[in-house]
Structure formats: structure tokens, C-alpha cells
Amino acid sequence: MRPDKATVFCLIALFLPGVPARAQADASKAGVIAAQAPEAEVVHDGHPTLSTAIGPVGYQPLSGNERWNLYLRNAFWSPGVFFRAAGPALGAQLNNEPPAWGQGAEGYSKRFANRFGRFALKETFEAAGAAALGHEVRYVRSKRTGFLPRAAHALSANFVTYDRNGRRAPHVARVGSAFAAEFTGNLWMPAGYGDASTALRGVGMELGVSSGFNLIREFAPELKRIFTRK
């Protein structure tokens, strides 16, 4: 696959996750679950990159339609998607990696498409896997006080999530999707940049960026007060 077709590949992936529809029946049966872990709070926020989108009273799993809509926003339409692709693409441009893609607008567009395509694949694999397992994909803000406990909660959110009953569970869909997306993305890389070390470096980059976004989500109320203070 040619590198400039990475975006086309990720658009094709849009049609892969039919699994979220399957989860709709399970979610409707589950209803509102009050057994949510006491150290976490599910909060309401309309912006998918800042927090979750359900109320704080009890835990309610996503329906199939909600999973589908959230997937589309997270993978293609939210501003965070472009920032997560533009930043790593700029770093690769400055380091001229891979050299075969050259410099200038054409080189940057290929690097941007590469990161955008990998991120879209990661969201696709995660959405399908989480729906099959009945796992939460939204960020759940901590109820604890203090910077360190809340920061630890944010950093662990890539590895721990909630099942359809509100119980904590390993976030296998998120971690597994990061590996699957990076190794799949190697298919369109030029020679010398499609090996396991490139994929593993991409996994570390993806989980690191995701952790940074989780910190922003966790401390969004405080950040909002700081930036809106007159």
C-alpha cells in the first residue's frame, strides 16, 4: 500500500466495526448500574476529548448507537484527532523520517496521513474490541483528591477500564488496538521502516499521547477555571 493512501485505508476501516451494534442489546438490558467503583466518577461533558458523556449518579454502559457515534467522533471528527496526527507528523518531518517521503508539503502530507491512518485504525480496533467485551471507552474522572492520586488514575486509564456492570477490568481493547494499528500501519511504510521496532515505537508514542490527553481530561475543571479567570 502506498503511503499517500493511508487515509483511504482508514476510511475503509470505518465499515469494519459492526460489533458496536451487537452491544446495543446488552447495554439496554444492563440499564443504569449503581455498582460503580467509589474512587471514580463518570462526568458529563459534550466534548469527547475532555471527559465522558453520561451523568454522575450511576454507571450506564454505552448503547450500540452511542458507541458508533462516539467512534466516528473520536476517529475522524474531533479536533483532538488532528492534533494527535499533526504533532507526531511534525516531529517525523523535522527528523526526516522516513527519508523516502522527502520534505516540503508533500512529505508532511504523507507523514500526517500515516499518523492519521494509524490512529483511525486504532480507534476502529478499540471500538470493535470494547463493544465485543462490553468495556467502557470513555474517560472516567477520579473522585479522589490531590494531584498525585488523580494523576495516577489518569495515567492508568489506558490499562484499566470498566465492564458493562461497572466493575474495573483490564483495558485489553485499548492496549491491543495500539499494537494492532501500528503493525497494520507498517504495511504502507517504505523499506526499512516497517519492522517491529518501528511498530513498538509507535505503540509507545500512541499510549504516551493518550496518557497526556487523559491528564487534560482529569484536570479539565481546574484548567477551565484557570483559563477563564478574569
**pLDDT tens-digit map of 25-76:** 333 333 333 333 344 444 433 433 333 333 334 678 888 889 999 899 888 8
Q: Would the pLDDT of 134 be above 80? A: yes
Q: Would the pLDDT of 147 be above 90? A: yes
Spatial separation of the C-alpha atoms in residues 182 and 5, rounded to whole Å: 16
The DSSP-derived string for 23-85 is: HHHHHHHH--B----TTEE--B-S-TTTS-BS-SSSB-PPPHHHHHHHHHIIIIISHHHHHHH
**pLDDT tens-digit map of 173-182:** 999 999 999 9
In this prediction, residue 107 carries a pLDDT of: 94
In this prediction, residue 167 carries a pLDDT of: 87
Backbone angles phi, psi at 180, to 5 degrees: -60, -40
In this prediction, residue 21 carries a pLDDT of: 38
**pLDDT tens-digit map of 181-198:** 999 999 999 988 888 888
Provide the 3-class DSSP secondary structure of residue 169: strand
Average pLDDT score over the chain: 77
Please identify which residue in the block is written with the cell numbers 478499540: 126
Q: Is the peptide bond before 149 cis (omega within 30 degrees of 0)?
A: no
| Percent of the chain surpassing pLDDT 70 | 74
Q: How confident is the model at residue 102 (pLDDT cuts 50, 70, 90)?
A: very high
Q: Would the pLDDT of 88 be above 50? A: yes
Q: Would the pLDDT of 121 be above 90? A: yes
Q: Would the pLDDT of 118 be above 80? A: yes
In this prediction, residue 224 carries a pLDDT of: 86
In this prediction, residue 15 carries a pLDDT of: 37
